[in-house]
Chain A
Amino acid sequence: MTATGRPLVRRISATPAAREAVSRLRSARGGPVMFVQSGGCCAGSVPMCFPAGEFITGGHDRLLGDVEGCPFYIDGALDDALGRPAFVLDVADGEPEGFSLGPGAGQRFVSRPG
């Protein structure tokens, strides 16, 4: 992370379908969202999507980049434990998990190995 809060290496990318879904969600909500990669238990290993600022990030959260102007974070310790992987944001059929927003139309966001 640099002093300006920008990631040194961009480790998040997105499929065209995910970009379109994020744009659609932004428009529907009238504002940006944020993503936080989850770890552990029943709703683990998914990009949780919240209204921007809803999840308070701390000093140990890492910004991996952004998708359509929406930041994507992961907990630093989880990131290290996973070997600092790259993620590709995508969409799939099915309802979102946990408190996560979905892009609508019965879809959810997923993060695939980059």
Chain B
Amino acid sequence: MRYIPPGQEGSIVSVHARYENFIGGKWMPPVAGKYRANLSPATARPICEVAESTPDDVELALDAAHAAKDEWGEMSVAQRAAVLNKVADAIDEHREMLAVTESWENGKPVRETLAADIPLAADHFRYFAAAIRSEESEISEIDKDLIAYHFKEPLGVVGQIIPFNFPLLMAAWKLAPALAAGNCSVLKPASPTPWSILKLMEVLEDILPPGVINVVTGPGAEIGKALAANPRIAKVAFTGETVTGRLIMQYAAENIIPVTLELGGKSPNIFFGDVMADQDEFLDKAVEGLVLYAFNKGEVCTCPSRALIQESIYDKFMALCLDRIAKIKEGNPLDTETMMGPQNSAQQLEKITSYVDIGRKEGAEVLIGGHRAHIGGEFEDGYFFEPTVLKGHNKMRVFQEEIFGPVLAVTTFTDEADALSIANDTLYGLGAGVWTRDGSRAYRMGRAIKAGRVWTNCYHQYPAGAAFGGYKISGVGRETHKMMLEHYSQTKNLLVSYSTKPLGLF
């Protein structure tokens, strides 16, 4: 099935010529009155215009969030959870519309947004609705008459800055726990992908109390600092790359506020020889597990971008994988048969092309792909790249730097110790994959790999309820788990004496 592109006659997605910021439950034009064109990466042509905001707009959003925070924070958890469940229901109700919107703006294939991005976004709101209902304060009996009560209180207003690769899902990951814990948010979408979040706000505008979520679009250099360094936020959360992550930590230090960061990765995906012990469904799953580097055209922080394959099976296993990669259908992201859409921007396409050249120059062998893909027709100017595999060794740049595209770096290992050594030889520690039929080995490897998430005999699953976050320079904090509520709460301790006796010191 092919969905009609947003804005064209018959599309399930309506498009306004121009979108304003969503502040205090209203659509507000940017103070400076500036807008910019927002492109679809599939055609490199404009979808609509979005606000090119300035720091004044961030201040208006903060005004609205502060005006809303007391009522929202003091609302009973049952009422807050009810709102979050309504948000989830509304997302489900508009699943196809939001999936097509997300695909058209980001470039990801609609089969992924229909099956993953949108349902997972809805589920995150439900999960945190449930989590906040089941939260309990703690009481410690210090002694018979001295009792410590621990209450969770909202932080207040938080700043959230999200990336272009999963605009709606990353918004859900950040908004759901923040709102559940009683906070109001000022959210800045990534500059290349502001529109789908604004479409989500259209869906939610009658459900959310005004000011609980405020969305300000615009360039990072103009409004990123205005939000992240603002003394009126009580916490900042960011997903993106490391230099901006450091800058945000630095701004947070100026205000002495907490920060959670989800940064880059160069995740190893390790295939032990025993995956080929049988020609069965599990082998088929393992082959797909390697090809998952092309999921979301490789624009995933946890992209399994380094495949480590045991020498003994390399030739046969890689042949199966290359055969599967050759069958990847690339093209119109709104076609449900399409497996890979365009990269998100010309910038991405240029970087990926440059990295493949760097790989070639440092001696990597191109096993498949390696070029810009030409789809033709209305997609001829789209930012498509062929699914690519480079064979080399772990010291090469293409094994060390995150390419953020459909480029797999593959190498071999001799034994478990060798696999572990290569896996951990990276600056990053976000994700990893281990594939083996030996449960003990899977456990040993999983515990020894320095990464926050080790997918074992699976990859790229992101269920609410499984903690996600980075070791090493891949970040601080954990998302997609109820422990995230801690990141969005203060602890209030009332230390109460029920004794009438004085201390006797004075």
| Per-position binary interface string of chain B over residues 346-364, scored 1 when its CB falls under 8 Å from any chain A CB and 0 otherwise | 1100110011011001000
Contact A95 B243, beta carbon cutoff 8 Å? no
Q: Is the CB of A82 within 8 A of B397?
A: yes
Binds A, one of B137-145, B217-225, B281-289, B448-456: B217-225
Asked if residues B190 and A42 are in contact (CB atoms below 8 Å), the reply is: yes
For A75, list chain B residues within 8 Å (CB). Answer: 242-243
Among candidates A94, A98, A113, residue contacting B220 with C-beta atoms closer than 8 Å: A98
Stretch at the interface among B88-96, B400-408, B486-494: B400-408
Closest B residue to A77 by beta carbon equals B427
- The answer to whether A98 and B240 have CB atoms under 8 Å apart is yes
CB distance from A97 to the nearest CB of B (A): 6
Indicate if the CB atoms of B345 and A54 lie closer than 8 Å: no
Q: Which of A4-12, A16-24, A32-40, A62-70 contacts B (4 or more CB under 8 A)?
A: A32-40
In the complex, per-residue mask of A26-65: 1 if CB is within 8 Å of any chain B CB, else 0 = 0000000000111111111110101000111000000000
**A85 to B397 CA separation, bound complex (whole angstroms):** 9
The residue on B at minimum CB distance from A57 is B246
Partner pick for A41 among B163, B191, B354, B358, CB 8 A cutoff: B163
CB–CB B241/A110 < 8 A: no
Other-chain contact of A82, B220, B265, B345, B400 (Cβ < 8 Å): B400
Task: List, in ascending order, chain B residues with CB within 8 A of A97's CB.
Answer: 191, 220, 347
Chain B residues with CB below 8 A from A89, complex form: none
CB distance from B504 to the nearest CB of A (A): 51
Contacts of A83 in B (CB 8 A): 395, 397
The answer to whether B350 and A110 touch across the interface, beta carbons within 8 angstroms, is yes
Minimal Cβ-Cβ distance residue in B for A36: B243
- Is the CB–CB distance between A45 and B263 below 8 Å? no
Min Cβ gap B76→A in Å is 38
**B264 contacts the other chain (Cβ, under 8 Å)?**
yes
- Taking a contact as CB atoms under 8 Å apart, the answer to whether A55 and B219 are in contact is no
User: Are A81 and B427 interface neighbours, CB within 8 A?
Assistant: yes
B221 lies within 8 A of A44 (CB): no
Residues of A within 8 A of B53 (CB): none
Residue among A45, A56, A77 with most chain B CB within 10 A: A45
Q: Is the CB of A44 within 8 A of B190?
A: no
Minimum CB distance partner of B228 in chain A: A99
Task: Please tell me if the beta carbons of B400 and A81 are within 8 angstroms of each other in the complex.
Answer: yes
**Min CB–CB distance B496 → chain A (angstroms):** 43
Is there a chain A Cβ closer than 8 Å to B247's Cβ? yes
B243's contact among A39, A92, A94, A112, by CB below 8 Å, is which? A39
CA distance A96 to B164 in the complex (A): 14
A57–B219 Cα distance when bound, in Å, is 23
CB-nearest residue of chain A to B426: A81
Closest chain A residue, CB of each to CB of B191: A95
Interface hits, A94-114 → B, CB 8 Å: 94-102, 108, 110, 112-113
Count of A-B contacts with CB under 8 A?
A: 129
Distance between Cα atoms of A88 and B395 in the complex (Å): 22
In angstroms, how far is the closest chain B Cβ from the Cβ of A5? 20
Residues of chain A with a CB closer than 8 A to B345's CB:
94
Instruction: Report the bound CA distance from A50 to B476 in whole Å.
Output: 24
**CB–CB B264/A55 < 8 A:** no
* B264 near A44: Cβ-Cβ < 8 Å: yes
Does any Cβ of A come within 8 Å of B457's Cβ? no
In chain B between 386 and 416, which residues have their CB closer than 8 angstroms to a CB of chain A? 395, 397, 400-404
Report B51 CB to chain A, min CB distance, Å.
Answer: 14
Instruction: Give the residues in chain A near B239, CB-CB below 8 Å.
Output: 41
Q: Does B42 contact A (CB under 8 A)?
A: no
Q: How far is the CA of A23 from the CA of B155 in the complex (A)?
A: 43
**Chain A nearest CB, measured from B411 CB (Å):** 15
Instruction: Establish whether residues A42 and B224, one from each chain, have CB atoms under 8 Å apart when the complex forms.
Output: no
Report Cα–Cα, A64/B474, bound state, in Å. 24
Q: Which residues of A contact B401 (CB under 8 A)?
A: 39-40, 44-45, 78, 81-82
Contact among A44, A81, A101 for B241, CB-based, below 8 A = A44
- Checking B165, B357, B473 against A42 with a beta-carbon cut-off of 8 angstroms, the contacting residue is B165
Between A and B, 6 residue pairs with Cβ closer than 8 Å are: A40-B401, A44-B264, A45-B401, A48-B244, A95-B347, A97-B191
- Nearest 7 interchain pairs by C-beta: A40-B264, A41-B264, A41-B241, A38-B243, A99-B220, A81-B400, A98-B244
Residues of B within 8 A of A (CB): 163-165, 190-192, 219-221, 224-225, 239-244, 246-247, 250, 263-266, 299, 301, 345-347, 350-351, 354-355, 357-358, 361, 395, 397, 400-404, 426-428, 473-474
User: Apart from A39-B241, A44-B241, A48-B243, what are 9 other A-B pairs with CB-CB below 8 Å?
Assistant: A36-B243, A39-B264, A40-B264, A41-B301, A42-B404, A45-B354, A95-B191, A97-B191, A102-B221
